């Protein structure tokens, strides 16, 4: 069975096009569930009106589906709980210019 | 989504052409800025900015942002393309006809622009009507659609009025009504709403007080209705009262926008956002000028004539051009990125949207544009044409920098090598 960390690692390579920070560091990955070859990924966006939402969603789907051992991929948007800045990692805060 | 991006990019391309043509017209007709506000050359210049640059860029933004702002797909995308064709043909006809003083052709070009704008209003209204939730941003889009219709109808009647009088009273009065419907009703109302979707997105900040956003919008709408009647009926006190009501509404919006900036998580304020904020500053100057003109309408011909031109210049080439130009710096790279690189995310390395523009060219546009504004205002204050020539030439240089920057961004649409700076999957 594919490890959750493997999924998370591949998602760290998907960057938000505006901020240049990975969607994992931005706290946009809410949930990862692996059952055999079935992978479900719950994503949230920094704002519901983010026009890049569909592109990011499709990118996650493509990247996860390309992993060996993945048979089906379900990527969905999850608004509850909504994204808050508390979800930014220390690395993301540093990249946004607030912490050194 | 890809088709919508192509539609908006088409509008922004049109805006780019006008961004160069409009200040060039300023250089050619600089002395006209020292004359009456109804001089046909000045009307040509005004429409080149308001319909040519600002109109094209704003519709490019609307057709992209409206659906994400209200959570509903644009009702009729095909209608938006038809609107684009009517606008692309109608505006140059209007501007050329103004320059020749041929008001029959102004009415002909204006009819195309008006039909396009009415189609846009309908498209916006139906899209907003279908939205399940309507917050202050959706209402702002709805109000601006209404004022857009009123503006183009008033403008069309003004053009017809030159050949066949159809409007009661003084045509100068109706010109003022038309100008305020367009600038305050359509553009400022739209910015009052769109700012609260765009600023949080570009700065990772929060809107803390939606009541203040709604209240700011309400004050502006109430003030505008009153101002239109006050101008039409020529009641100076009412002009000041309702002008101040609009100013209060805009101040509420500015205050909330500032709180979004203060709550930002992205520390660096980039040039696009700085230009937008500078536009808000220029708007404050325009409001002061407008209130002075309303308070002292008989302060002397020199003040009234130059003051009226300065008022329009600061509002249009200062506030609106900076705000809209600033937002273009953020939206165009994003649209190009979505269209060119969006389909390959997760498959191969792609550059970041924020790496497509040139920061140097962005700054050059912004700083040269500001310098040009100051020079033109000096020319108006001293009634000296050389300052006006210098000011408009500086704004042309700013536009060239902006076009080079946007050309560099648009070049990615045909670029094969997809890596640049950052990398997303």
**Contact list, A13 vs chain B (CB under 8 Å):** 423-425
Of A15, A48, A49, the CB nearest to B352: A15
In the predicted structure, residue B49 carries a pLDDT above the cut 70: yes
Question: Which residue of B lies nearest to A53 if distances are taken between CA atoms?
Answer: B68
Q: Quick one: closest CA in B to A88, which residue?
A: B265
Instruction: Tell me what pLDDT residue A91 has.
Output: 85
Return the minimum-mean-pLDDT range out of B55-59, B135-139, B340-344.
B340-344
Least confident of B13-17, B253-257, B292-296, B325-329: B292-296
Residue B250 C-alpha, separation from nearest chain A C-alpha, in angstroms: 24
Share of chain B above pLDDT 70, in %: 95
Q: Judge: B68–A50 Cβ closer than 8 Å, yes or no.
A: yes
A59 to B202: CB separation less than 8 angstroms, yes or no: no
Identify the pLDDT of residue B111: 94
The percentage of chain A sitting over the pLDDT mark of 90, rounded to a whole number, equals 29
Could you give the ipTM of this predicted complex?
Answer: 0.78
Contacts of residue B355 in chain A, CB cutoff 8 Å? 20
Task: Please give the pLDDT value at position A80.
Answer: 82
CA closest to A13 among chain B residues: B425
Residue of higher predicted confidence among B341 and B80: B80
Mean pLDDT value of segment B185-196: 96
- The sheet with strand A72-77 has its strands ordered as A29-35, A38-43, A72-77
Higher pLDDT, B332 or B70: B332
A93 — contact with chain B (CB < 8 Å)? yes
Q: Tell me the CB-side half-sphere exposure of residue B189, using CA atoms within 13 A.
A: 26
Instruction: Output A79 or A67, whichever has higher pLDDT.
Output: A67
| Cβ contact B378:B29 at 8 Å | no
Q: List the single residue in A18, A54, A96 with the smallest CB-CB distance to B354.
A: A18
| A15, A22, A44, A57, best to mutate vs chain B, most B CBs in 10 Å | A15
- Which chain B residue has the Cα nearest residue A18? B354
Round to whole Å and give the CA distance between A19 and A37: 32
Work out the mean pLDDT of chain A and round it to a whole number: 86
> Does B425 have pLDDT greater than 70?
no
HSE-CB for B247 with a 13 A CA cutoff:
19
A43 and B CB contact within 8 Å: no
Residue B1: its chain A contacts at CB < 8 A? 54-55
The band of B294, judged by pLDDT with boundaries at 50, 70 and 90, is confident
Query: Which domains, and CATH codes, for chain A?
Result: 4-79 (3.30.300.130)
CA B414 to chain centre: 29
A29 touches chain B (CB under 8 A): no
Helices and strands (H and E) in chain B: how many: 15, 0
d(CA B164, CA B150) in angstroms, rounded, equals 20
Q: Give the CA-trace dihedral at A77, B266, B72, A64, to 10 degrees.
A: -30
pLDDT (mean) for B28-32: 92
- Between chain A and chain B, the number of residue pairs with CB atoms below 8 A apart is 90
| Residues of chain A neighbouring B64 (CB-CB closer than 8 A) | 51
pLDDT (average), residues B290-308: 74
Provide the pLDDT for residue B267.
84
Across the interface, whether the CB atoms of B346 and A18 are under 8 A apart is answered: no
Neighbour count for residue A67 (Cβ, 10 Å): 15
Question: Is A100's pLDDT higher than 80?
Answer: no
3-state helix, strand, coil in chain A (%, to 5): 30, 20, 50
Best interface-test mutation with A: which of B70, B210, B409, B424 has the largest number of A CBs within 10 A?
A: B424
CA distance B159 to chain A (A): 40
Residue A89: its pLDDT value, please? Answer: 87
C-beta separation of B314 from B282 below 8 A: yes
In A, minimum Cα distance to B70 occurs at A49
| B186 pLDDT more than 50 | yes
Cβ of B197 and A58 within 8 Å?
no
Chain-chain contact of B204 with A98 (C-beta, under 8 angstroms)? no
Task: Say yes or no: A51 contacts chain B, CB-CB below 8 A.
Answer: yes
Q: What is the pLDDT of residue A96?
A: 82
Pick from B298, B287, B286, B306: nearest CA to B236 = B298
C-alpha span between A16 and B46 (Å, rounded):
39
Q: In order of start, what are the domains of chain B with their CATH numbers?
A: 2-414 (1.20.210.10)
Task: Tell me the average pLDDT across B155-177.
Answer: 86
**What CA–CA distance (Å, rounded) separates B151 from B139?**
18
When the pLDDT of each residue in chain B is averaged and rounded to a whole number, the result is 91
Q: Kindly state whether A20 is in contact with chain B, defined as any CB-CB distance less than 8 angstroms.
A: yes
| Interface contact A52-B354, CB threshold 8 A | no
The whole-number average pLDDT for the span B341-364 is: 87
Q: Residue B417 pLDDT > 60, yes or no?
A: no
3-state SS, A29-52, equals EEEEEEECCEEEEEECCCCCCCCC
* Pair type for strands A38-43 and A72-77: parallel
Q: How confident is the model at residue B421 (pLDDT cuts 50, 70, 90)?
A: very low
Calculate how close chain A gets to B329, using CA atoms only, in Å: 12
Residues of chain B with Cβ-Cβ distance to A88 below 8 Å are 265
H helix or E strand, kind and range, residue B165: none
The answer to whether the beta carbons of residues B22 and B54 sit under 8 Å apart is no
Contact residues for A48 (Cβ-Cβ < 8 A; gap 6+): A79, B71
Q: Which residues contact B154 (CB under 8 A, 6 or more apart)?
A: B174, B177, B178, B181
How far apart CA B47 and CA B27 sit, in angstroms, is: 15
Q: Is B383 left (phi over 0), alpha (psi -120 to 50) or beta?
A: left
Taking only the tens place, the pLDDT of each residue in B362-414 is 999 999 999 999 999 999 999 999 999 999 999 999 999 999 999 999 999 98
What are the residues of chain B with a beta carbon less than 8 Å away from any beta carbon of chain A? 1, 64-65, 68-69, 71, 197, 200-202, 204, 265-268, 334, 337-338, 341-342, 345-347, 352-355, 422-425
């Amino acid at each position: 069975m594919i490890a959750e960390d493997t999924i998370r690692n591949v998602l760290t390579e998907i960057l938000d096009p505006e901020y240049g920070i990975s969607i994992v560091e931005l706290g946009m990955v809410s949930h990862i569930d692996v059952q055999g070859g079935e992978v479900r990924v719950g994503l949230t966006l920094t704002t519901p009106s983010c026009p890049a939402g569909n592109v990011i969603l499709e990118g996650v789907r493509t990247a996860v589906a390309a992993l060996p051992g993945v048979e089906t991929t379900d990527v969905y948007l999850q608004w509850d709980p909504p994204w808050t800045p508390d979800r930014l990692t220390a690395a993301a805060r540093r990249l946004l210019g607030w912490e050194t | 989504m890809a088709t919508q991006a192509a539609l908006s990019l088409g509008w922004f391309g049109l805006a780019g052409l006008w961004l160069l043509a409009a200040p060039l017209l300023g250089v050619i007709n600089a002395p006209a800025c020292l004359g009456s506000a109804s001089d046909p050359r000045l009307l040509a210049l005004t429409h080149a900015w308001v319909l040519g640059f600002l109109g094209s860029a704003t519709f490019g933004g609307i057709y992209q942002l409206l659906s994400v702002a209200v959570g509903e797909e644009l009702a009729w995308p095909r209608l938006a393309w038809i609107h684009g064709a009517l606008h692309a043909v109608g505006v140059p006809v209007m501007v050329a006809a103004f320059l020749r003083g041929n008001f029959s052709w102004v009415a002909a070009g204006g009819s195309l622009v008006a039909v396009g704008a009415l189609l846009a209003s309908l498209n916006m209204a139906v899209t907003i009507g279908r939205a399940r939730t309507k917050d202050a941003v959706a209402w702002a889009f709805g109000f601006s659609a209404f004022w857009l219709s009123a503006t183009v109808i008033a403008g069309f009647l003004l053009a017809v009025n030159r050949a066949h009088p159809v409007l009661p009273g003084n045509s100068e009065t109706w010109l003022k009504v038309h100008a305020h419907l367009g600038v305050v009703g359509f553009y400022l109302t739209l910015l009052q709403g769109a700012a609260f979707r765009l600023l949080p997105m570009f700065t990772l900040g929060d809107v803390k007080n939606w009541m203040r956003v709604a209240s700011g919008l309400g004050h502006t709408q109430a003030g505008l209705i009153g101002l239109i009647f006050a101008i039409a009926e020529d009641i100076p006190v009412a002009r000041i009262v309702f002008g101040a009501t609009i100013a209060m509404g805009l101040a509420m919006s500015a205050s909330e926008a500032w709180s979004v900036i203060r709550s930002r998580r992205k520390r660096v304020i980039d040039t696009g956002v700085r230009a937008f904020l500078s536009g808000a500053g220029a708007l404050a100057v325009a409001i002061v000028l407008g209130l002075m003109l309303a308070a002292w309408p008989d302060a002397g011909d020199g003040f009234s004539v130059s003051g009226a031109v300065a008022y329009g210049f600061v509002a249009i080439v200062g506030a609106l051009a900076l705000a809209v130009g600033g937002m273009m710096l953020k939206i165009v790279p994003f649209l190009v990125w979505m269209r060119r690189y969006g389909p390959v995310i997760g498959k191969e390395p792609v550059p970041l949207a924020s790496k497509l523009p040139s920061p140097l060219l962005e700054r050059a546009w912004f700083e040269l544009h500001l310098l040009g504004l100051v020079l033109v205002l000096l020319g108006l204050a001293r009634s000296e044409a050389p300052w006006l020539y210098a000011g408009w030439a500086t704004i042309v240089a700013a536009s060239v920098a902006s076009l080079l920057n946007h050309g560099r961004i648009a070049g990615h649409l045909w670029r094969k090598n997809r890596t640049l700076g950052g990398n997303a999957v």
